[in-house]
Chain A
Amino acid sequence: MPDSVPDRDVVLTCRVRLARNHADLPFPGFLDVEQAQESIRRATNALEPHELRTVSLDRMTPIQRQALVERHLISRDLLRTPERSAVLLNDDETLSVMINEEDHLRVQAFVNRFDLPLAAKIAFEADDWLSSKLSFAYDIELGYLTACPTNTGTGMRASAMLHLPALTWSGEMGKVTQAVSKLGLTLRGLYGEGSEAQGDLYQLSNQVTLGRTESDILDDMQSATNQMVDWERKVRVALHAGDRIALEDRLMRALGVMERARRMNAKEFMQRWSCLRLGSCMRLISIRPDTLDRLLVTAQPASLEQATGESLTDEQRDIRRASLVQTMIKA
């Protein structure tokens, strides 16, 4: 079934994140307990008219917190100090404001498709709410002042989550990474340790935050992402044209395992998932890409455990994962 969302075959989500700090408080790593509370209080007050839900991390279990990371609502870094951090979320979870992460405020707009202008609009609107009430650390020369100089200036990081199985399988990622770095952008694996990119999922984001305007940076991201989409599509077509049976065999075997396996660890799941998503987008497998995108989140360890409502051993988790996969792909 054709998917009406443009570029969904390659881009899963996009995000715009703004780093902001109170002018008169030390950065979060240097806050005492009282100052940390003050930072939370200020942000909460400033956002009060906008009906965001405050999530106090200190009252959550580690699994509940981890599940928020898996849903991309908070960063892993925020969990280093849950007792002095908080996060505010809007109803549809397109906006999250993390408090006392690396910076006092991390405004993050998250959109489930490739629509950077929409993500930027959500983020800047929240920035306007905040800056009408709070006075941010700002320097006429250097812009927004952040705890780490890699964010100084706009404090903005725009990113897109890309599924690049064809480029990965054909060994093109080295070339791709080099090409984007020339544009002041970076590409890294989104799941897995070090250089591995489980599920062939990558995050493309801007490296430069100073000396360029927000819209320049967004334009760069937009055109670089478009290029990546084109590139990936061409290689998909080439793979299929080159050895149709080999490609289809690989994808269909993955489908067979996903439909039948009784247990599956996270790493194997990511491998098979990537095949299913490619098959889906190439119309070889009749599972919708958005179903697979939901599965990608719900099959992560903490989300599985949270849905079960009890703590699970690795073995139990792998069994649940296999049965979740089957429920979702048959639906």
Chain B
Amino acid sequence: MLCENCGQQPATVHLTTIVGGDKTEQHLCAACCQKHKQALTMAGMSTLLLSLLQGAGSTQHEHVEMRCECCGQTYDEFQKTGMLGCPKCYDAFRSQLVSLLGRIHGGKTQHTGRIPPRSEEQNHAAKRLETLRRDMDRAVADEDFELAAKLRDEIRAMQPAREEEKHA
């Protein structure tokens, strides 16, 4: 197999990158891998990954890099700092985190405590409202006032309902 970057040297390094469940593979020669590594350093990649990449020589080497597609945090970086980047990281690194959480919290990984009140419904309403507002703005910009008025009524109809919810 030839290096997919330069197409001249044999590919000796095989990189697997997982972003949000999508797996991409790169097959590079040693020289292109070196360049790739420098590019990653610029982007603030972890030294752990670099050391793994450094070890790549004439023999095959594979490194699985997991990355949260929402915030860009990598599992390697997390292992260095102990800090996740965003709530979606919990989905991106789920299986690793679940076993880590088990080790931290005495073996248990199922939450049994408080549940935020109507979290699902609220999320849904907030998203719907956001979409309606955006559509209304667009309708106004397009001078489609009939549609804008209809959307405005829909937004109004949602808001008092949410107010009542709060006081219920």
Contacts and interface: CB of A to CB of B under 8 A. Distances in A.
Given A29-B83, A124-B114, A135-B123, 9 more contacts: A135-B122, A138-B119, A140-B111, A149-B100, A153-B101, A156-B113, A210-B108, A210-B110, A210-B111
Nearest to B124: A135
B111 A153 contact: yes
Interface of A: 21, 23, 25-27, 29-30, 102, 124, 127-128, 131-133, 135-145, 147-150, 152-154, 156, 184, 207-214
Contacts, number: 115
B75 to A, nearest CB: 12
A319 B163 CA distance: 58
12 contacts: A26-B85, A102-B83, A142-B101, A143-B111, A145-B87, A147-B83, A149-B100, A149-B101, A152-B90, A152-B105, A154-B111, A154-B114
A149 B97 contact: yes
B64 interface: no
A25 B106 contact: no
B156 to A, nearest CB: 19
Contacts of A133: 166
Interface string B92-124: 000001101100111111111111110100110
B106 to A, nearest CB: 5
A197 to B, nearest CB: 24
Contacts of A30: 71, 73, 85-86
B109 A154 contact: no
A211 B98 CA distance: 12
B84 interface: yes
Most buried by B among A26, A132, A150, A156: A26
A208 B114 contact: no
Interface string B12-34: 00000000000000000000000
B113 A153 contact: yes
A143 B86 contact: no
A132 B166 contact: yes
Contact of B109 (A127, A131, A141, A148): A141
B166 to A, nearest CB: 5
Given A132-B117, A135-B126, A143-B113, A211 B108 contact: yes
Contact of A212 (B85, B108, B117, B166): B108
B109 A149 contact: no
A30 B68 CA distance: 13
A107 to B, nearest CB: 12
Contacts of A143: 111, 113-114
B83 A21 contact: no
A119 to B, nearest CB: 16
B84 A148 contact: yes
A35 to B, nearest CB: 11
Contacts of A131: 116-117, 119
Most buried by B among A25, A145, A150: A145
A152 B104 CA distance: 10
A214 B122 CA distance: 23
A214 B111 contact: no
Contacts of A25: 86
